[in-house]
Chain A
Amino acid sequence: MRASMKSLFLIAWLLVMSSPAVAECQLRGTGDLALVIERATGSAQVIDTTHRHSLFHVDGLGDLSHASVVYSRDERYAYVFGRDGGLSKIDMLCGTLVKRIVQGGNSIGGAISQDGRFIAVSNYVPGGVKVFSADDLSLVLDLPATAVDNPKTPDKKYSKTVGLVDAPGERFVFSLYDTGEIWLLDMLDPAKPKVTKFTDVGRQPYDGLITPDGRYYIAGLFGEDGLAMLDLWHPEKGVTRIMDHYGRGERKLPVYKMPHLEGWAMAGDTAFLPAVGHHEVLVADRNGWKEKARIAVHGQPVFVMAQPDGRRIWVNFAFPDNDTVQVIDTESLKIIKTMKLGKGVLHMEFAPRGEAVWVSVRDRNHILMFDTRTLKQLAELPATKPSGIFLTARAHKTGL
């Protein structure tokens, strides 16, 4: 008896002593969690946005100099797309890396299919898109992009792919940077994937977005002043040009960082988009997609994002103006606040109901939380060279 009591104590003592070393999974919901990318160290933090503190630190995610995240439909797993072609599946409740594969040489982002079965990754090298099972990251489809002639190198090169999003009907849409195309990939029957190609959509599409209803896919063009739009209710009508020649006659300014078209800045019937090579936010009327106004801003916009209530637009900027955030009132189209937050304001993410926004400031090694009503800072959390901030609520949004 004494011996068994002793061994029980020993077991209990061992459990207590060993527990700090083992990440404990949390019994809780994930709806208010976020993943914060730490780009320089190839790591990420799981944060609780309600209690505003860090829960877990996850290492070993590779080169995250460009990274994005999508979530499983149960909001438990995050899929991280890294620059080095790495695709990592993270358990948000346990703070653990479930699986990591290196699926390409150089990639730019990805998407999760409507029903959550597939993860698609957009690659620069080798140019194309690969589709994986969301469950075990096994390869389902390898779809090379259009070959690009390159007499300088013997190896075959394919166009870089950009702006990959999910669309209703188990489809993915993406653009081909080098060859100016938009492709529609239908995965409804994974054994027989269907690809519809739209060519000559414009020069150098650099990113794309899909409207939250999943109807319109829009690619931004670097090589031309305008955007290419595909109506997914009527793909047979082909790709049309919108906001054509928005910078006509103006000298193009150098662009030190490509804008991102992630998300959809929409307020009422008005859409807000970053201009390229002009320090302006473009304002378009969604009925007819005509230019309504242009708002002069502090620099080359990178993210132009609407609060979920559509009341204000938040804008950050490319180098050398990446220390600034501007807030625009969507009724008056006036800038109501300019904030200097430190070098390297890289990303902004709204709480799903819009009461707060999280902002990463790379060189200050922190992320900030602001009240969107008062524009006052509410919290500051430490993070090493933070870039993207991704809330789990993205799990239920088309295109995110």
Chain B
Amino acid sequence: MKQIMQWLILAALGNSVAIGAIIAAPPDAARRAELIDLLKQDCGACHGMRLKGGLGPALTPDAIGRLSIETISATILHGRPGTPMPPWQPFMSQDEAVWLAGQLKAGVD
């Protein structure tokens, strides 16, 4: 029974990510700050600390606003083969990537 419940919860989580509108477990304030720091410092190594681009493309709403949350979060998690974009999966959960994708679409100060 417990296993079935767990499976149901996982399925629900997967679903919420797939539709992109709901994040099952949004990161807390401390983790959000960490993710924004990671975005600026480490994603910023290629995309610029202000996300206006570098060797990697700009990540401003102008540049990627038309992409879906799913596309952006999948790119964050799995990288882009054939380009220098690496997978960030070792450093964040799917929910966190979805949250970050939402931040990028809205624009980060």
Contact = CB atoms under 8 A, between A and B. Distances in A.
Interface of A: 39-40, 63, 65-66, 83-84, 106, 108, 124-125, 160, 162, 177, 204, 206, 222, 254-258, 318-320, 344, 362
A206 B49 contact: no
Given A256-B45, A257-B42, A257-B45, A65 B84 contact: no
B55 A63 contact: no
Contacts of B87: 254
Nearest to B45: A257
A66 B84 contact: no
Contacts of A124: 53-55
A169 B41 CA distance: 39
A150 to B, nearest CB: 11
B41 A258 contact: no
B36 interface: no
A344 B41 CA distance: 9
Contacts of A106: 48, 52-54
Nearest to A253: B86
Contacts of B54: 65-66, 83, 106, 108, 124
15 contacts: A39-B49, A63-B50, A83-B49, A84-B50, A108-B54, A125-B53, A162-B55, A206-B55, A206-B84, A222-B84, A255-B86, A258-B45, A258-B84, A319-B45, A320-B90
By size class, the interface of chain B is 10 to 19
Q: SS class of chain A's interface: helix, strand, loop or mixed?
A: loop
Contacts of B55: 108, 124, 160, 162, 177, 206, 258
Interface of B: 41-42, 44-46, 48-50, 52-55, 79, 84, 86-87, 90-91
Contact of A65 (B50, B79, B90): B50
Contacts of B45: 256-258, 318-319
Contacts of B46: 257-258
Nearest to A318: B45
A106 B54 CA distance: 7
Nearest to A107: B54
Q: Which 4 A-B pairs have the closest CB atoms?
A: A65-B49, A254-B86, A257-B45, A319-B42
A256 B48 CA distance: 13
Contacts of A83: 48-50, 52, 54
A40 B50 CA distance: 9
Given A106-B54, A258-B55, A63 B41 contact: no
A364 B91 CA distance: 21
Contacts of A108: 54-55
Given A257-B45, A258-B46, A362-B41, A84 B84 contact: no
Contacts of A162: 55
Contact of A256 (B42, B49, B50, B52): B42
B21 to A, nearest CB: 27
Contacts of B53: 106, 124-125
